Amino acid sequence: MRRFATDRGKQLLLLSSRRLLPTTPSPSPATAAGLNYAFPFSTSSSSPVPMASPVTVDTINPKVIKCQYAVRGEIVIHAQRLQEDLQANPGSHPFDEILYCNIGNPQSLGQQPITFFREVLALCDYPGLLDRDETHALFSADAVERAWKILDGIKGLREAIAAGIAARDGYPANADDIFLTDGASPAVHMMMQLLLRSEKDGILCPIPQYPLYSASITLHGGSLVPYYLDEATGWGLELSEVKKQLEDARSKGITVRALVVINPGNPTGQVLSEDNQREIVEFCKREGLVLLADEVYQENVYVDNKKFHSFKKVSRSMGYGDKDIALVSFQSVSKGYYGECGKRGGYMEVTGFIPEVREQIYKIASVNLCSNISGQILASLVMNPPKETDESFQSYIEERDGILSSLARRAKTLEDAFNSLEGVTCNKAEGAMYLFPRLHLPQKAIEAAKAVNAAPDAFYARRLLDATGIVVVPGSGFGQVPGTWHIRCTILPQEDKIPAIVSRLKTFHEAFMAEFCD
């Protein structure tokens, strides 16, 4: 079979979208502070504006201008340019393909979708198949049965998700608490839209963070209140730090509305301990904060001594119910072992809000219309995969375990590779899909970056791309302790590509360090 390629369309989309951008974007000066980004979109236009233009960068919403989103930023645009170059002039670069280690999209790097999920989706898309004899040769019996159930509405999709959550946690879940969304991002936007009234409202966010949070807070006009994860303790979440930042924000007149926790962590890959989670729940309850739990990597844990626990399970195990803590858990079909980014499925489980506020959430959800039905179906499937008695069970388990154990091996190999490099230290990826190694760069490299108005990690990432075709995201896109530099690298390239990546990375790094040695 030819390579499965629903995500190719998306790649093409990105590819041609880049043509929207000016051919020679000039990177803005990046500073060394935690939340500055390497290559922000330019904030003012220096090109002459034709008289006729009713819309200029000076007359659009300044929140849009201010918003930054580095994951699909300048480095990616440059990578796409190189890719076009390679197609037009093979051999024009010292590598023959671009390796996208920048975004957590497994299928775009060749991972095959889980068969059972796609069987059910195809049958739901074209139910005419269900009445045909040939179908039994092509589809598993449990996929056919599941499709019938979904199409007949026998089992509501939100009911199926609630049942999956209850089975995961050992505590009841209510279908009425589930809001189906096109992935986790629209759910995050919805909560920010709900909670943020002005820049005097703040949201506590980990640093480093996934830039969806900073972008969404900016777009909705609120303030990001950063708390730093501790790199020295494996990106630990120290409650004393959160408390300090909360008090600091309050002293500046900021009303802090919510605490964002990403577990497993993005870009950091840490998995919180249950004790740590209990502290966090207690803290949110005491301080009157909504706990926004980004749990999209709940299926991605790679170490034996850690386990994913949902914040809902943890809070229920502490005896806290709907009246005690306002909690939103975000889930997505884009992550997990399945990695179905292109399907845009997900949900948020909303608990602990009074009915009048839930009404308002329901209203925003209505204005946004329903999420796409394939994504809804897929969300119900990932939360209720085949059971032991189902025909698909064995092959499903093999596919799932094959992906997860391969990811664990890739994480370890890449972690070791980074740690073997001079001046690079890399925490373990306990979960999620990323490594976030720290670069201890020579002073000369930092000065060279400054000379071209780039953040040092963006400078490094750009040089890495030009030399090897490997695309990573500069740490400055996620925020980092001022004066420290990182890159985020996914663990998603297929295993047969990993040795080449490691060797190209090493060669590049040695040359880079030699070039800029102090």
Interaction of residue 367 with its own copies, rule CB under 8 A: yes
Nearer to its own copies, 351 or 427 (CB): 351
Least distance to its own copies, CB of residue 513, Å: 33
DSSP 36: -
Going 377 to 379 to 382 to 385, the CA torsion angle's sign is negative
Q: Which three-class secondary structure state does DSSP give residue 317?
A: helix
Interaction of residue 413 with its own copies, rule CB under 8 A: no
Nearest to 438, CA basis, from 213, 230, 211: 230
State which of positions 132-191 bind its own copies (CB under 8 A).
Answer: 132, 134-135, 137-138, 148, 150-153, 156-159, 175-176, 180, 182-183, 185-186, 189
CB 77 within 8 A of CB 25: yes
Candidates 74, 119, 294, 295: give the one binding its own copies (CB under 8 A). 119
What gap in Å lies between CA 234 and CA 428, rounded to an integer?
7
State which of positions 416-475 bind its own copies (CB under 8 A).
Answer: none
In angstroms, the Cα distances linking 73 to 18, 38, 39, 477 are: 10, 9, 7, 9
Segment near its own copies (CB under 8 A); pick from 59-67, 243-251, 302-310, 431-439: 59-67
Nearer to its own copies, 193 or 490 (CB): 193
Interaction of residue 50 with its own copies, rule CB under 8 A: yes
What gap in Å lies between CA 472 and CA 51, rounded to an integer?
40
Interaction of residue 354 with its own copies, rule CB under 8 A: yes
Structure tokens at 311: 């914040």
Question: Which uninterrupted H or E stretch holds 125?
Answer: helix 115-125
State which of positions 61-100 bind its own copies (CB under 8 A).
Answer: 61-62, 64-65, 67, 69, 72
CB 431 within 8 A of CB 149: no
Interaction of residue 362 with its own copies, rule CB under 8 A: yes
Interaction of residue 21 with its own copies, rule CB under 8 A: yes
Candidates 369, 388, 389, 451: give the one binding its own copies (CB under 8 A). 369
Interaction of residue 260 with its own copies, rule CB under 8 A: no
What gap in Å lies between CA 174 and CA 361, rounded to an integer?
16
Nearer to its own copies, 127 or 483 (CB): 127
Least distance to its own copies, CB of residue 12, Å: 4
- Angle, helices 157-169 vs 373-382, to 10°: value is 30
Count of residues touching its own copies (by CB under 8 A): 124
Interaction of residue 355 with its own copies, rule CB under 8 A: yes
Least distance to its own copies, CB of residue 378, Å: 10
